[in-house]
Amino acid sequence: MDAAQAIDDLKEISPQVRDVVVIGADGAPAGSSLTEEPAVERLADGARRLVEAAEAMRPGVAQLEAATLGGSVFVVRDGDRLIAATTSPEPTVGLVFYDLKTCLRSIDEAPPATKPARRRTTAAQKKAEDAAS
Amino acid sequence: MPPRKVVTGFLLAAGSLAGSVLVRRRAARKRERVDLYADDGSMHSFAEGTPEADRLLPIAHDLLRA
């Protein structure tokens, strides 16, 4: 599933979620519910800063919630990828984490580097090559 | 003391205890905090005013202001 579809599904099943951004293994935003590029960058940058600061305090952080009176910010890590979301105040924490993990895991990983195509040699070509050598 | 009064007193005490627990829980939820969940399943919660929360909460405020 691509990131846009996964984020649409997340927004549909989780009305508490406001804005979402998915950050790929390369550190760049791979998808978002936000439409404006600066807003996407801002959310992605904030998510990265949260994870870096959390990691500096407690190494091995897999997910975090920063709860404020105006809403919460969630960040979930899956390998090198991240998903971050803002929610309304007092969200159902377990449910939001579950939905974010499901969303992130449903997004296809970047396809592996393509192998060079194998050279096919027909019997006739092989005979010609053998004759030439 | 008649058993009925004992039961009433016990129920009142239990009710007020349960009420105070609920009020405390709601009050705790109203405070800002940061919860960090580690790979090993452990969780650390930092309430506002702690150095950890004071480092992370401004970033969250910034993101939620947008």
Instruction: Measure Cα distances from A80 to A109, B25, B42 in Å.
Output: 11, 36, 20
The pLDDT of residue B17 is above 80: yes
Selected for mutation to probe chain B from A40, A64, A69 (highest B CB count within 10 Å) is A64
CB-nearest to A50 from B44, B56, B66 is: B56
Instruction: Tell me which residue range forms the domain holding A69.
Output: 3-111
- With respect to residue A120, please indicate whether it lies within any of the assigned structural domains: no
pTM metric for this prediction: 0.75
Q: Is there a contact between B36 and A90 if contact means CB atoms under 8 Å apart?
A: no
- With respect to residue A64, please indicate whether it lies within any of the assigned structural domains: yes
- CATH number, domain of A107, equals 3.30.450.30
Domain ranges of chain B: 1-30, 32-66
What integer pLDDT is reported at residue A72 of this predicted model? 97
Report the percentage of chain A scoring pLDDT > 70: 81
On average, the pLDDT of chain B sits at 89
What's the CA gap between A10 and A17, in Å, rounded?
Answer: 8
The pLDDT of residue A110 is above 80: no
Shortest distance, CA B22 to any CA of chain A (angstroms): 16
- With respect to residue A93, please indicate whether it lies within any of the assigned structural domains: yes
The pLDDT of residue A127 is above 50: yes
Average pLDDT over residues B59-66: 92
3-state secondary structure chain A: CCHHHHHHHHHHHCCCEEEEEEECCCCCEEEECCCCHHHHHHHHHHHHHHHHHHHHHCCCEEEEEEEECCEEEEEEEECCEEEEEEECCCCCHHHHHHHHHHHHHHCCCCCCCCCCCCCCCCHHHHHHHHHHC
All residues of chain A having their beta carbon less than 8 Å from the beta carbon of residue B54 are none
Looking at the structure of chain A, the number of domains it has is 1
pLDDT tens figures, B32-62: 999 999 999 999 999 999 999 999 999 999 9
What's the CA gap between A92 and A37, in Å, rounded?
Answer: 29
- With respect to residue A132, please indicate whether it lies within any of the assigned structural domains: no
User: In the structure, what pLDDT confidence band is assigned to residue A121 with cuts at 50, 70 and 90?
Assistant: low
CB-nearest to B64 from A39, A70, A90 is: A70
Q: Which residue has the higher pLDDT, A31 or B28?
A: A31
Whether A45 and chain B come into contact, CB under 8 Å, resolves to no
